[in-house]
Chain A
Amino acid sequence: MIEYLLLAPVLTGMVCFFSKTRKQVETASLAGSIATLLLGLLLVWQVYKYDIIITWQNALFADAFSAFIVLIVSIVGFVASLYSIGYMGHELDHGAMDLKRLRLYYVLFHGFMFTMLLVGVTNNLGLWIAIEMTTLVSALLMILYSKKSSVEAAWKYMIICTVGITFALFGTILTYYAAVNILGETGDALNWTSLIAVADRFDPTIMKLAFIFILIGYGTKAGLAPMHTWLPDAHSEAPTPVSALLSGVLLNCAMYGIIRFYTIATKSTGIDFTSNLLIIFGLLSLGIAVPFILLQEDYKRMLAYSSVEHMGIIALGIGFGGVFGVFGAILHMFNHAMTKSLMFFGAGNILQKHETKEIFNVSGLVKSMPVTGAMFVIGTLAITGSPPFSIFISEFTILAAGFSQGHYIATVLFLLFIIMIFAGFFNNVSKMAFGTPKQGIEKGDVGRLMLLAMGILMVFVFVLGVYIPPPFYEMIMKVVEIVR
């Protein structure tokens, strides 16, 4: 089952590679991403039935947490490939890229999907390899346009994330060392399934050191401050559908790595050490995002800083702990993925219409692009945590967890920061959304497929704000059990 899921994007990429015309490559990509989505859902259903699936001599496995990541990857991947057809087609029509580049884009897009799915289903904690692979593929996606700024962003991304991931490798080596002392030198000594059973017997000193390295390493990839410096560059310079994948999904994959190690490390070091570290990094990320969102002049960068903020919130949720904290954090991963992708798609529409990323040069969106404008404003309400949208539920749960677990100062700071971010976001977006449209901007929205992609995401943003379906709730509860 897991093999087929991994095979789908690989095959799709190959078919895209051999496609001759634009029509062919687009059809192949869309069909492939639908197949990936269906296989992803099938995997989720199987995990729901059997709890855990292990194949390929223990190399691949899926429990509820893996299935959860697979769910996010395949949903956002499907929507992004739908959006890509409109967005990249527009780029092709306007001469921003040629057919060869377009084909390369789709090949890399599905390669990127493969690496992210691999992160979710690797049993071995050499999940390091998969995370490094995501960096490699996405750096190539960033330099599809040979603009100076994209090349600069890609280089920074590549260098900073590779160094970060090197630290994570050191953390992994230390964990392996701790495991070998208990399990003996077997090939299984890094397998999640065998580690978790004996994690409480690991040497706490080593695990403390390992967790610090892992947190710094994967934290770089997850965009936790102060290692986030590459993130706004990379996320704002990548082609928009890729920005959505980077912000919505890839950050979650890195977070997944941190949370897996958190579970293991906590068993040996005790909960105070790991939780406090997560709370500190979480608050720092929230705090750093505030001034950059308040004073931002580039709307794509604003969204990127908002991703730093939300990763901070997830780290806080895990750090606060308890059923509520972890539940909120896991739910927040899903909600953030959907809402942030929606926002990036909106930003992509605006970018293609106005050909500028500056907030000052955009106004009157609600009039000039009614559908995009409306969804962008609703998305803004959602991403800043206003009721009745999905992020409100998860943020509120995390807040409640903070108070109930007695982290008063951290929770008050958290509340303060999100209020300031709300104000900053709204100040910026209202400049863009209202007023009279700039001269020379005709009325009318961009392609239908792009709006359809946004519409699908809107459903998640609305529905999860008022109602969490019981199977989904059960799935998250299973993840919470695994993490705690």
Chain B
Amino acid sequence: MEEIVFGSGIMQLLIALILVSTFMILGSTRLYSCVRAFGMQSFLLACVAGIVAFSTGKTDIYIVAFLTLAIKAALIPYIFIYIIREIKVKREIDLYVNISPSLIIGGILVVISYYLIRSINLITELSSFALSASMSLVSIGLFIMISRKKAIMQMLGILIMENGLFLGAISLTYGMPLLVELGIFFDVLIGVLIMGILIFRINRTFETIDTDMLKTLIG
């Protein structure tokens, strides 16, 4: 049954688009376009959840899809834009790794994820396509965290990883039990708010949000 859902053309298209949106974040030097691409990624995830909900007819998954739309695709991007506006940062992202090598590394990570999932061979009845996309999102999210200087991009990286896991959960088991999903949404939202507070604090104390400055505590 899972094959029917995840093997369908529309699903494959959505998952491919999710990967595209991740590469848009990887390939952009402007904060706003990164946030916009993240919003798009979350919107596509909500669509994936919506289709799964429709084909299984479970109310729980409808709720999850709606929450993804409301929290991850609308509220969190809004919080990002608010932060960017309030702290008046330079709108360009400083990078440790330039755009073109970043894109190549992203591509390599996708290929590795694909073969990794294939080799584990634990889910024969499942579309390994969705799961390898999920692994790719997790690894690219990690890569964004370590290759971008701005604190705000580290926050975005974590959220991309979280999106990846969401995709993984929904393709493995149609998502977690509702109680757990609600808890995760709650934690993600509060986490974003608190990271926002921290970014304001960093900006006020260091007058920049480049994480270069955060290197004094060693040993």
Contacts and interface: CB of A to CB of B under 8 A. Distances in A.
Given A126-B176, A187-B179, A170 B138 contact: yes
B40 interface: no
Given A159-B158, A233-B217, A140 B177 contact: no
Interface residues of B, number: 42
Contact of B165 (A133, A169, A295, A301): A169
A357 B177 CA distance: 47
B198 A166 contact: no
Contacts of B158: 159, 162-163, 166
A208 to B, nearest CB: 10
Given A158-B194, A166-B158, A190-B176, A129 B142 contact: no
A266 B205 CA distance: 47
Interface in B120-170: 120, 122, 138, 142, 145, 151, 154, 158, 161-162, 165, 168-169
**Which residue of A136, A159, A172, A188 has the most chain B CB atoms within 10 A of its CB atom?**
A159
A163 B194 contact: no
B38 to A, nearest CB: 16
Given A151-B201, A152-B217, A205-B122, A190 B162 contact: no
B173 interface: yes
Given A166-B165, A190-B177, A205-B120, A132 B214 contact: no
Interface stretch (B42-50, B81-89, B100-108, B181-189): B181-189
Contacts of A147: 205
Contacts of A151: 198, 201-202, 205-206
| Interface range on chain A (Cβ under 8 Å from partner) | 35 or more
A136 B194 contact: yes
A112 to B, nearest CB: 13
Contacts of A132: 187, 191
Contacts of B172: 173-174, 176-177
Contacts of B177: 124, 126, 176, 186-190
Contacts of B174: 185
A230 to B, nearest CB: 10
Contacts of A407: none
Contact of A163 (B145, B176, B179, B190): B145
B53 interface: no
A153 interface: yes
Nearest to A234: B217
Contacts of A296: 219
A136 B187 contact: yes
Contact of A152 (B165, B204, B216): B216
B99 interface: no
**Which residue of A170, A172, A173, A180 has the most chain B CB atoms within 10 A of its CB atom?**
A173
Interface string A175-218: 01100100001111110000000000001011001000000000
Nearest to B56: A185
Query: Could you tell me the dominant secondary structure of chain A's interface residues?
Result: helix
Contacts of A154: 198, 201
Contacts of B162: 166, 169
Interface in B72-88: none
Interface string A214-256: 0000000000000000001100010000000000000000000
Interface string B202-219: 101110000101101101
A59 B179 contact: yes
Given A132-B187, A149-B217, A190-B177, A203 B201 contact: no
Contacts of A153: 217
Nearest to A237: B217
A129 B165 contact: no
A133 B187 CA distance: 7
Contacts of A188: 177
Nearest to B184: A129
Nearest to A122: B183
B151 to A, nearest CB: 7
A139 interface: yes
A126 B179 contact: yes
17 contacts: A126-B183, A136-B187, A140-B194, A143-B201, A146-B205, A147-B205, A151-B202, A151-B205, A156-B214, A158-B194, A176-B173, A176-B177, A185-B174, A190-B177, A209-B120, A233-B217, A295-B219
Nearest 10 CB-CB pairs, A to B?
A129-B183, A126-B180, A187-B177, A152-B214, A233-B217, A132-B187, A177-B172, A173-B169, A151-B205, A177-B173
Given A132-B191, A172-B176, A205-B122, 9 more contacts: A129-B180, A136-B190, A154-B198, A159-B154, A159-B158, A163-B158, A166-B158, A169-B184, A187-B179
